[in-house]
Amino acid sequence: MISIKNLSKVFKTKDQTVNAVDDVSIDIPKGEIFGVIGYSGAGKSTFIRLINRLEDPSEGEIILDDQDIAALRKEPLRKKRQKIGMIFQHFNLLWSRTVFENIAFPLEIAGVPKRDRDEKVQELIDLVGLKGRENSYPSQLSGGQKQRVGIARALANDPTVLLCDEATSALDPETTDDILDLLVSINEKLNLTIILITHEMHVIQKVCHRVAVMEQGQVVEQGEVLNVFVKPQSKTTKRFVQQLSPLEHQIDRLDEFITDDQQSEVVKLHFIGNNAKRALISEVSKQLDVAINILQGSISPTQEGAYGTLYVEIKGEPTVIQEAIQYIEASGVEVEVLKHV
């Protein structure tokens, strides 16, 4: 369990002060993958660096395993850091060391004897899928493989939390997915708490249980990923959610279907969780005397269940259309009737 209370970081320069992180409070239970999303300059990078004190907080508490990291002195902080793994956007591997030696480095720092070290490194190499590359140098690896080394290195001292600082931002989409899959499997296998920051909603959607949206140093919204997706409150969140459903950008293509005709309504349906898997449309058209014309739709899987959007045109008598909408709403799917703006 990590409990962050009123965390702030103020950068002071000669002529200005910047509140990079401004009164952030977040609780993260053990075993959760918690995402922080924001545009560049939102303070998310500073936020994650405050957690292991790469930046010193100006105010606030970071309670990890009943210890306030923010208040630790130099030596206990050093020990504590050995139990906080971190991976980086640019991997930050030592080019002078092989894969094996890179992963052994944190164990050397922690003073683990050579024999135990070798055993642990071998275990980690298997875990991240780098068997056979032990003696390669980082320069001989692809970006994805480098990040695997980074992950193995971060896990070496059995940390209680893993911090991911834009860990997939330097990777191509396919490799990003591989690395995210690896993070999820590690989370499940080791019940490891993961805090990741990103500017890609896709990453949040794919791996996170809960998310916080940051803007100008403040958390403007936080909650279950699915809820934030379906009912984004703030403007920033809405923009992020739109990144994921390209349909949101193409509303104008529906224009010709949206008419003043009483016999036709265009509606947007939100499917959440298990509802996304129901054959709702055929149910409605069987039960009621309406014709349903599917215009466009998409479905996005998240860690907590699927989330889908479907645009349909319902044709029929106005009263029957209302009945159909009520039927759909009663089944737990959200309905939004689209009108001309």
Partner 1 sequence: MFNDIFPNVQMDQMWVATYETFYMTIISIIATFIFGIILGLLLYLTDRGNLWANSTLNGITASVVNIFRAIPFIILILLLIPFTDFLMGTIRGPNAALPALIIGAAPFYARLVEIALKEVDKGVIEAAQAMGAKAHTIIFKVLLPESMPALISGITVTAIALISYTAMAGVIGAGGLGDLAYMQGFQRRNFDVVFLCTVFIVVIVFIFQFLGDWSSRKVDHR
**Residues near partner 1, by CB under 8 A:** 52, 54, 77-82, 84, 86, 88, 90, 92-97, 105-106, 108-110, 137-139, 153, 157
Q: Minimum distance between the CB of residue 25 and partner 1, rounded to whole angstroms?
A: 23
Identity of the residue, 93 or 201, whose beta carbon is nearer to partner 1 in the bound complex: 93
User: Backbone phi, then psi, for 266, in 5-degree steps?
Assistant: -100, 125
Give the separation between CA 67 and CA 55, rounded to whole angstroms.
Answer: 18
| 13/96 with CB nearer partner 1 | 96
Q: Which is nearer to partner 1, 42 or 51 (CB)?
A: 51
Q: Which of 98, 103, 92, 157 is nearest to 126 (CA)?
A: 103
Instruction: Name the minimum Å distance from CB 174 to partner 1.
Output: 24
In whole angstroms, how close is the CB of 334 to partner 1 at the nearest point?
43
Q: Closer to partner 1 at the Cβ: 78 or 277? A: 78
Nearer to partner 1 (CB atom), residue 39 or residue 137: 137
List 267's β-bridge partners, or say none: 312, 337
Rounded least distance, CB 88 to partner 1, Å: 6
How far apart are CB 195 and partner 1 at their closest, in Å? Answer: 13
Nearest-angstrom CA–CA distance, 8 and 324: 51
